[in-house]
Amino acid sequence: MSHSDDDSRTDPHLGRVEKIMRALELTQGVEIARRYLAMNAFDGALTMLGLIMGGLLTIDTANPTPGFNAILLAALGTSIAMAVSGLSGSYLAESAEREREVEEIGKAMLTDMSHSMYAKASRTTSVVVALVDGLSPAVAALIIMVPLLLVPAGILEWHLSFLLAIGISMLLLFVLGLFLGSVSRKSIWGYGMKTLFAGILTALLLFVVAMLTGGG
């Protein structure tokens, strides 16, 4: 018995993970999932930054509880919506594209490919891509929301929680830039500064809009 067989028996999850990775490699799903991870986490971070900045600039400091609760509910609702939208939309779109691709390959080869290894790998890829697409923005949003979730428990004051959440969003954007830089094999710090600049620009634009509309 080989060492790999021993590993598969001692770790029942190893074989499944290897099958998923092979399916992703066969269908070029790794690149797609990686692109969705960075892109949608970036979107989730910027969306939360916008909500938090809006709350920070508009909440009535004399009576902050109603405004804070509204922002917290909006942030939670947006996170759930991003997850559901990403999971369902990405799965349907990716499945349709994969099924069409398998059908076209079958026509070109004059055979039924619906039960082939490639078809099975395509279905696995559709599920993995959908999970990455749906969970990445929601997870990014929830990470940023951690300080806000501590306010109802009395651990943090609402104004401080917003400032901490803004700081976390900027840090997360910078880390995503580092990730993109490592993927491109170019300057990771350059990419980090670019994504961080996107966050700073978003905050500045919201501040200007709030000033112009009297919201700040």
Does the residue 9 lie in any domain? no
Q: Does residue 11 fall inside a structural domain?
A: no
Residue 7 within a domain:
no
pLDDT of residue 9: 44
Token pair 């692109």: residue: 35
User: In Å, what is the CA distance from 173 to each residue of 128, 199, 203, 208?
Assistant: 23, 7, 13, 21
Output the pLDDT for position 73.
Answer: 92
Question: What per-residue confidence (pLDDT) applies to 182?
Answer: 83
Amino acid at 33: A
The parent domain of residue 33 ranges over 16-213
The confidence score (pLDDT) of residue 101 equals 76
Rounded-to-integer distance, Cα 123 and Cα 138, Å:
23
Contacts of 76 (CB under 8 A, 6+ apart): 145
Residue 6 lies in a domain: no
Provide the pLDDT for residue 214.
66
pLDDT score for 53: 87
Q: Which residues contact 107 (CB under 8 A, 6 or more apart)?
A: none
pLDDT reported for residue 216: 58
Name the nearest CA neighbour of 82 among 52, 39, 53, 28: 39
Rounded Cα–Cα distance for residues 39 and 97 (Å): 20
Task: Tell me if 30 is assigned to some domain.
Answer: yes
3, part of any domain: no
68 token code pair: 């804070």
User: Is 8 domain-assigned?
Assistant: no
> CB of 134 within 8 A of CB of 126?
no
Q: How many CB atoms lie within 10 A of CB 154?
A: 7
Mean pLDDT by 10 residues, the chain (216 residues): 44 64 73 81 90 85 87 90 84 79 76 74 82 88 93 90 93 90 81 89 85 69
| Count of domains observed in the chain | 1
The answer for residues whose C-beta is within 8 angstroms of residue 53's C-beta and 6 or more apart is 166, 202, 203, 206, 207
